[in-house]
Amino acid sequence: MNGDQFMRFYADVAGPDAQLPWKYVHGVAHAVVYSLIADQAPILATHLHDDGWGQSTLRPVGISPPVFLGARRKRSAYMMSPNGRIWFGSPMPALAASLLASVTSRRELRWGPVTLAVKGAQLEPLTSPESPAVLETRSPVLVKADKNRYLLPDDDGYVPALAANIRHKADVLGLPGDAELEVLAAGPRRRFEAARGTRIGATVTLRIHADPRLIGALREWGLGVANIQGFGWVR
């Protein structure tokens, strides 16, 4: 693979002036991804859902939850507005192309109980990745110490666990996986209900020294685990 294959784009969407229940903010993101890929490549979507990518159980797709500008403020509520945006990406050309083709062919996008009107889609400018780089996430990064315990940026073991996740992704991509990480800033602890249970994490700003191709791929895939559920999306 090479940097020319990296692709990320966004879709502008319109939602109602209403609340999106918190369990749907991240909880249906993976279903949206599979549905979009299935529009163009149903066999690929089924394989990705059931088995992962290639010989790996990882799913190299990144997505953000919908972000709404100008939404009414309401305490402890995720409010929508007519001015929303959802980002998508993948370091795998087949997945990225399927997502883009499907989004641009749709007038509506179902996000859990809500129908979002698709106003258009736009590729983000392709930039040549460099190392070191500073990556800031839009959504919380999920880092796990084991199957049952999530780590936050201030916890012992956070950086080694995140580095191990990056190495795992590099293996799938066929890239060198050595990465030196430094946490520059972190957001507050966030808790979400998503598919298969509770997710706990925090947004993070990270300085990373790694192969530039790997840094580019992380911008399309995301940091940490459960990227297909909208976690760890890089701004």
β-strand 7-14 against 179-186: which pairing, if any?
A: unpaired
The structure tokens listed for 45 are 């979507």
Cα–Cα dist 192/229, whole Å: 11
User: Rounded mean pLDDT of the chain?
Assistant: 93
Please tell me the predicted confidence (pLDDT) of residue 228: 96
Residue 3, pLDDT > 70, answer no
- Identify whether the C-beta of residue 204 lies closer than 8 Å to the C-beta of residue 153: yes
Q: What is the pLDDT of residues 174-204, one digit of tens each?
A: 999 999 999 999 999 999 987 678 999 999 9
Domains and CATH numbers, the chain: 3-123 (3.30.70.1890), 133-229 (3.30.70.1900)
Please tell me the predicted confidence (pLDDT) of residue 1: 45
Cα–Cα dist 93/91, whole Å: 6
